[in-house]
């Protein structure tokens, strides 16, 4: 499979790229700064650009089989760059006839299947108080993906942790007994698995270790 990865130079994105190459995929990594990716491979092509540039985004999407977006806000400011970038990704996918999109979001973004308990509601309240614009950017981004008409999956994360993979991931919805963290390595593996799995097609599961 030929895969375009957005947010490829972030900590989760780099793990996605690394695992995708190990699995034999061709990867187009879209980054602002190629030096931050720190990877070289014969099946890796790096496209430098900003997700706000629709033509650079389209250039990365052209000719791929699927898109994986690990974009996330870097600052708690109301610029909503991830939402705007995701709109460009969706438009590029439609332009080039690419159907499969796997994107990421935080567990604080709710979907109808969630049944949040008291602790979940407290965590979301804290998120709104401390990082309102980060939350709003990801909420808007999720809505863009859900309304895209593409074959999408949004994978929602609790706290992301570095380090060795645990080797197992639980998936479901908020309030379903999931944990409070997941390693980036396990998250990346789950994201890549969704490219071939219909289990969460047009759904937004939460995962944890």
**pLDDT by residue (tens digit) across 51-61?**
999 999 999 99
SS3 15: helix
What is the residue range of 148's domain?
A: 2-208
Is residue 152 pLDDT above 90, yes or no?
A: yes
- The token duo for 186 is 């396990």
Could you give the CA distance from residue 185 to residue 151 in angstroms, rounded to a whole number? Answer: 24
Burial class (CB in 10 A: 0-12, 13-18, 19+), 138: buried
**pLDDT by residue (tens digit) across 96-114?**
999 999 999 999 999 999 9
Could you give the CA distance from residue 29 to residue 36 in angstroms, rounded to a whole number? Answer: 11
Confidence band (pLDDT; 50, 70, 90) for 155? very high
CATH number for the domain spanning 140: value is 3.40.50.720
Is residue 149 pLDDT above 90, yes or no?
A: yes
For 112, half-sphere exposure in the C-beta direction (CA atoms, 13 angstrom radius) is 4
Domain count, the chain: 1
Could you give the CA distance from residue 49 to residue 207 in angstroms, rounded to a whole number? Answer: 30
Looking at the whole model, is its pTM more than 0.85? yes
- The token duo for 60 is 């990365």
For 103, half-sphere exposure in the C-beta direction (CA atoms, 13 angstrom radius) is 31
Could you give the CA distance from residue 75 to residue 72 in angstroms, rounded to a whole number? Answer: 9
């Amino acid at each position: 499979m030929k895969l375009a990865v957005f947010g490829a130079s972030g900590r989760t994105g780099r793990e996605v790229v690394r695992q995708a190459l190990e699995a034999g995929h061709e990867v187009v990594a879209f980054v602002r700064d190629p030096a931050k990716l720190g990877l070289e491979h014969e099946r890796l092509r790096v496209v430098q650009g900003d997700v706000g540039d629709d033509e650079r985004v389209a250039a990365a999407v052209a000719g791929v089989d699927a898109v994986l977006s690990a974009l996330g806000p870097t600052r708690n400011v109301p610029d909503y760059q991830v939402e705007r970038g995701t709109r460009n990704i969706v438009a590029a996918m439609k332009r080039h006839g690419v159907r499969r999109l796997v994107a990421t979001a935080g567990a604080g973004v709710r979907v109808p299947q969630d049944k949040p308990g008291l602790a979940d509601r407290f965590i979301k309240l804290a998120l709104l108080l401390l990082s309102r614009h980060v939350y709003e950017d990801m909420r808007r981004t999720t809505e863009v993906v859900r309304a895209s008409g593409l074959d999408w999956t949004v994978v929602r994360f609790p706290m992301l942790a570095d380090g060795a993979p645990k080797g197992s991931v639980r998936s479901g919805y908020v309030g379903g007994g999931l944990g409070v963290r997941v390693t980036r390595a396990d998250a990346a593996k789950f994201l890549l698995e969704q490219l071939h799995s219909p289990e969460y097609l047009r759904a937004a599961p939460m995962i944890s270790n």
